[in-house]
Amino acid sequence: MKENVQRIERIALALVAVATLVSLLTWDARVVLGVGLGGALGAVNFHALRRIMAAIFAAEGARNTKLAFCGVLLSFKFGALAAVLFAVVNYTTVDPLAFIIGISVVVLSIFIEGFRIMLQSPAAQSE
């Protein structure tokens, strides 16, 4: 499971790099910045979410204070993400559509990894 999630992160970073390069060759600086910044924010958000959720699952059965701290940390992460999204859309010159495309690359990487797992042979899945 951990390998699959790490593979999603690597796929997302590769897709962001490709999307940023393609936008660099075909669009203006606002689009390039939007795709790159959105992709970076999406990748950082997914990484933080993975780490917090791993801590929550590791703390299962532990003291309630550790779980409560992880819950507060998760809430803070979502609040910080909302604040950054608001600031980028309202106070920068990035193209909002390009930013949304960049931040959505993580979703595409999840689908890619899901299809890769689905298409594996049954013998490889049972290992």
Q: What are the tens digits of pLDDT across the range 94-121? A: 999 999 999 999 999 999 998 988 888 6
Task: Compute the distance between CA of residue 126 and CA of residue 101 in angstroms, rounded to an integer.
Answer: 35
Burial 89-99 (b: 16+ CB within 10 A, else e): eeeeebbeebb
- C-alpha distances in angstroms, 11 versus 8, 52, 97? 5, 20, 21
Q: Residue 54: which domain range?
A: 2-125
pLDDT class for 41, splitting at 50, 70, 90?
Answer: very high
**Mean pLDDT over the full length of the chain:** 86
pLDDT class for 56, splitting at 50, 70, 90?
Answer: confident
How many structural domains does the chain have? 1
pTM: 0.79
Map residue 17 onto helix, strand or coil: helix
Say if residue 123's pLDDT is above 60. Answer: no
Closest CA to 56 of 48, 43, 67: 67
